[in-house]
Amino acid sequence: MLLTLTNTATAVACLCLIISVVVLRILTQALTNPLNKVPGPWYARWTNIPLKLAVVGGRRIHYVHELHEKYGPYVRISPNEIAVNDPKGFKQIHSIGSGFTKAEWYLRFVEVDRLGVFAMTDQRAHAARRKMFARPFSKTHLREHWEGTVRAKGDLALSRMQDELQTAGIVDVLKWWTLMATDVSSTLMFGDCFHTLENGEVNEYIRTLTRTLLGQGIGAELPLIRTVGKMLPLKAAKELFCNFEYLLDYGMVAVDNMKSQQGGKNIFANIMAEAEKGEKLQDADVQVEATGLLIAGTDTTAVSLTYLVWAVLSHPTVKNALEAEVNKLPQGYKDADLEPLPILNGVIEETLRLYGAAPGMLPRAVPPTGPDVGGFFLSPGTVATTQSYSLHRDPNNFPEPESFLPERWYDATSQYRLNDTAKAVFSPFGAGSRTCLGIHLAYMELRLAAAGFFRLIILTIVMDVKAVSDRFITTSSGCEGRRNEHPGFKGGNSSESGENQKTMIWISNSDRTQ
């Protein structure tokens, strides 16, 4: 009995010692951390729970933005993380050669022993991979090899919208933009079009991908849930956490088409054709990159186009000016004909500023030198993050930041015109050396799809649209619309120009990161 009591007392003493050490460590870190000088809520010194709750609730960008409004451009949001909403700090963090690297947060999305270009935190490895991709993803190369594909998918999407408008009286714009972007991305990345536009719905791969992305998002913020979820014999848990191998296996389609003798079968064939001597992508690299690039190029493009349609329809003056501009285009116009159009490109840029599909955090690990940013010393191990949502709403750079004003991008006489600082912080596709690889492809899709849409269908204002969370914006109200046929558009079978119809636009957004 005495031995048992002694053992129990020893165990309790050890437990108390461990707890004391942990508490002492927390107190020491909290009281001596250089971030204590950074403004922010009192609890950010001790815990990241409020930040995690905002993430789980789909409100991180709004939560951080509200903290910036209260505390200023530099705000502490957790024990080891600072949010920066200052042009000078933004430049210091994201400039090439700054020493700031992608934070380890990105590695939480990795479930295999291969890193895609998105998740790479090592700067040298990333630079080497990006160099291989640079030429095939350039504007010139995309126009030469893939513009026809992008144009064809866009025309088919518009044709399907027109058919739906005629038969059902409503158009699910987000649906068709999503299917268009899916078919473009699957063709370029896999060399195997999913034909979702023809089928009118996504395939099993995309459904699995959507569920897996949700599971990865949960796992990145709450790793314990992912660990437990993988062990649960529940269908829902398996769909969220155990399907990545299925997606990776499908990536072999990209590998096979890359190796085929049919030149230009997919963009990886272009990459290998352009690769310098000694450079090579392993099959596993292609599997990972094809999946990652398809993810990056689908929802983002669809969401941006949907917001663009909604924003233009909500501003009749902009709508009329845009329609007049694109209606002057010649038959058989090319993407190069669209690039100089001031109103079209102003609309695109203003949409990306206010409603960009990736407005969330860009977390960067502080370099070992422990630099000063904004007058605050950041010790190694600290994470410095920026978000375009806040940078794009700074009234010092964007007068009337919440207003949709495309003229700020092209009218030098406008009181809302951009200054150099505004141009420097405009970052809908990320920043610095980590800017999205597919930026030129995205702009091509946006230009061709938007020009085609406003040449084909004329619609009036959308009403009763409200933000629900970071992830979703919806409308259940109709808007009046009528068709406008143009001889340059091939597709659709309506000639009833002028007939009023009811049109429904569903709008969705997601808090992504770059």
Residue among 449, 499, 513, 361 nearest 178 (CA): 449
Q: Which amino acid is at 507?
A: I
Give the containing element (helix H, strand E) for 184: helix 173-190
Report d(CA 468, CA 465) in Å as an integer.
10
Burial zone of 224 (CB within 10 Å; 0-12 exposed, 13-18 middle, 19+ buried):
exposed
Residues whose CB falls within 8 Å of the CB of residue 381, separated by 6 or more in sequence, listed in order? 80, 365, 366
DSSP code at position 428? B
Report d(CA 69, CA 63) in Å as an integer.
10
Q: Token pair 């499908």 is at which residue?
A: 250
Asked if residue 193 belongs to a known ligand binding site, the reply is no
Strand 457-459 vs strand 478-483: parallel, antiparallel, or unpaired?
antiparallel
Tokens of 432: 């610095």
Residue among 394, 440, 384, 385 nearest 421 (CA): 394
Using only the alpha carbons of the chain, give its radius of gyration.
Answer: 25
Contact by Cβ (8 Å): 355, 391: no
The secondary structure of 38-54 as a DSSP string is S---GGGGT--HHHHHH
DSSP code at position 478? E
DSSP code at position 400? S
DSSP code at position 314? T
DSSP code at position 431? -
Report d(CA 436, CA 448) in Å as an integer.
19
Report d(CA 162, CA 166) in Å as an integer.
6
State the binding site for heme. 436
**Binding-site annotation: residue ranges:** 436
